[in-house]
C-alpha cells in the first residue's frame, strides 16, 4: 500500500466520513420515463413505499410515495451540501425558501438553529429515462455556530469552477471545485457560518474526472487534515502504483501528494478534506449537537415550534413542471 494511503474502505450507499464531515450518501438511480405528475411511469405496488431503498429495477423511491425523494424533515446543528450531477431536486423549506436545481448545480444549506426542508426528485422527461446522480454531504458546524439562523446558497453549475490539468500526453483531468482553492482558483462562496468559510480550515470538496489513460497528481495539503478520496466510477486505476478498486474509499495522509493513473475508461472521484473540528458529537438522526442536553433541547424545540412550521401545500412539495432551475430565498435571507 502506498505510504500516502492510510486505509481502504469498501463503499456502499452511505459512505464513510471523518470529522468535520458527518455523512455522505451517493444516490445513483435510472428512473423510467415520467408520468404527468412528475413521478415514474411504472408500477409502484411492488415497492415498500415510504422506505424504498432496495434499488428495484435500478431506482428507488426513498421516502416518497408518488414522487421519489425525501418529504419534509427537520435538521439542526450542521450543513447539507447537495451536489447534483444528473437530474433535478426540488427544494422547499420551513422558512419559505424554494428552488429547483440540478445538472451540475450544488445547494449548500446551513440548518443552524433548525429548519425543515423537503428534497424531492421531480421526473421531467415523459419520453425517455430520467437518470439521477447526486451526493449529499453533511458537514458539521462548530459549537459556536450550531444555533445560527438557517441559510442556503445555490452554487449554480455555470458559476462553479472546473480546472483542467493536462498531463505529459496532453490528456486533461477535470477538477470541479465546489469548496477549497485549487491552483489559485477559488470556489463560489459558501454560507457565511460554515466551517468551510474560514480558509484556515482547508475544507475541500472536489469532483475529479480522470480521462482514459490519463495521469494526475493530487497535490499535498497541510498536515493533520481529514482527507478521503472516493472512487465511484471507472475500471482500472492505480494510486501511487497501488491498484485501486472501484467503489472504494481511500483515507489519505493529507500532507502527501498522490499520483493517479488511469488504465481503463474515464474514472471519477470525490475528494472530501477538512481540518477536524475536534468537538464531541451527539447525534440522533437529523439533529447534531455537542451534548446530550442540547440534543434533548433540539427535540423539545422541534415539538414546540416545528422550526417554523410547514408553509407548503404538500410535504413532498414539487414545483410547477414548466419551471426551470431557480432559487427563491426567505424574506430574512433576502434582506441580509
- Name every residue whose Cβ is closer than 8 Å to that of residue 141 and which is 6 or more positions away in sequence: 77, 78, 79, 110, 112, 148, 193, 194, 195, 288
| pLDDT at res. 2 | 64
| pLDDT at res. 336 | 60
| pLDDT at res. 334 | 66
The pLDDT profile of the chain, 336 residues, written as one tens digit per residue, is: 668 999 999 998 899 999 999 999 999 999 999 999 999 999 999 999 999 999 999 999 999 999 999 999 999 999 999 999 999 999 999 999 999 999 999 999 999 999 999 999 999 999 999 999 999 999 999 999 999 999 999 999 999 999 999 999 999 999 999 999 999 999 999 999 999 999 999 999 999 999 999 999 999 999 999 999 999 999 999 999 999 999 999 999 999 999 999 999 999 999 999 999 999 999 999 999 999 999 999 999 999 999 999 999 999 999 999 999 999 998 777 666
| pLDDT at res. 1 | 60
Residue 114, classed as helix, strand or coil, is coil
Query: Rounded to the nearest 5 degrees, what angle is found at the Cα of 324, between the Cα atoms of 323 and 325?
Result: 125
The C-alpha atoms of residue 221 and residue 214 are separated, in whole angstroms, by 22
pTM of the prediction? 0.96
Give CA separation, 146 vs 35, 73, 107, 310, in Å: 41, 18, 19, 22
Amino acid at each position: 500500500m502506498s505510504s500516502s494511503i492510510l486505509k481502504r474502505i469498501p463503499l456502499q450507499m452511505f459512505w464513510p466520513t471523518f470529522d468535520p464531515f458527518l455523512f455522505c450518501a451517493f444516490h445513483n438511480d435510472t428512473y423510467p420515463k415520467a408520468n404527468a405528475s412528475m413521478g415514474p411511469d411504472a408500477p409502484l405496488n411492488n415497492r415498500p413505499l415510504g422506505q424504498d431503498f432496495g434499488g428495484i429495477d435500478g431506482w428507488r423511491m426513498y421516502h416518497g410515495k408518488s414522487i421519489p425523494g425525501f418529504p419534509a424533515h427537520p435538521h439542526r446543528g450542521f450543513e447539507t451540501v447537495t451536489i447534483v450531477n444528473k437530474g433535478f431536486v426540488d427544494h422547499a423549506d420551513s422558512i419559505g425558501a424554494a428552488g429547483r436545481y440540478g445538472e451540475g448545480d450544488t445547494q449548500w444549506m446551513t440548518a443552524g438553529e433548525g429548519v425543515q426542508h423537503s428534497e424531492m426528485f421531480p421526473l421531467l422527461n415523459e419520453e425517455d429515462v430520467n437518470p439521477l446522480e447526486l451526493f449529499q454531504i453533511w458537514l458539521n458546524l462548530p459549537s459556536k455556530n450550531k444555533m445560527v439562523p438557517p441559510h442556503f446558497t445555490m452554487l449554480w453549475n455555470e458559476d462553479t469552477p472546473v480546472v483542467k490539468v493536462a498531463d505529459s500526453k496532453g490528456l486533461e483531468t477535470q477538477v470541479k471545485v465546489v469548496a477549497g482553492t485549487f491552483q489559485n482558483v477559488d470556489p463560489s462562496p459558501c454560507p457565511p457560518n460554515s466551517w468551510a468559510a474560514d480558509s484556515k480550515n482547508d475544507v475541500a470538496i472536489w469532483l475529479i474526472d480522470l480521462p482514459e489513460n490519463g495521469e494526475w497528481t493530487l497535490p499535498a495539503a497541510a498536515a493533520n487534515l481529514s482527507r478521503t478520496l472516493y472512487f465511484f466510477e471507472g475500471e482500472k486505476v492505480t494510486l501511487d502504483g497501488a491498484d485501486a478498486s472501484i467503489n472504494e474509499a481511500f483515507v489519505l495522509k493529507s500532507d502527501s501528494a498522490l499520483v493517479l493513473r488511469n488504465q481503463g475508461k474515464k474514472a471519477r472521484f470525490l475528494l472530501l478534506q477538512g481540518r477536524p473540528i475536534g468537538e464531541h458529537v451527539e447525534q440522533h438522526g437529523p439533529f447534531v449537537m455537542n451534548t446530550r442536553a442540547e440534543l434533548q433541547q433540539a427535540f423539545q424545540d422541534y415539538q414546540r415550534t416545528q422550526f417554523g412550521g410547514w408553509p407548503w401545500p404538500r410535504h413532498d412539495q414539487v414545483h410547477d413542471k414548466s419551471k426551470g432551475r431557480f432559487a427563491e430565498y426567505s424574506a430574512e435571507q433576502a434582506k441580509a
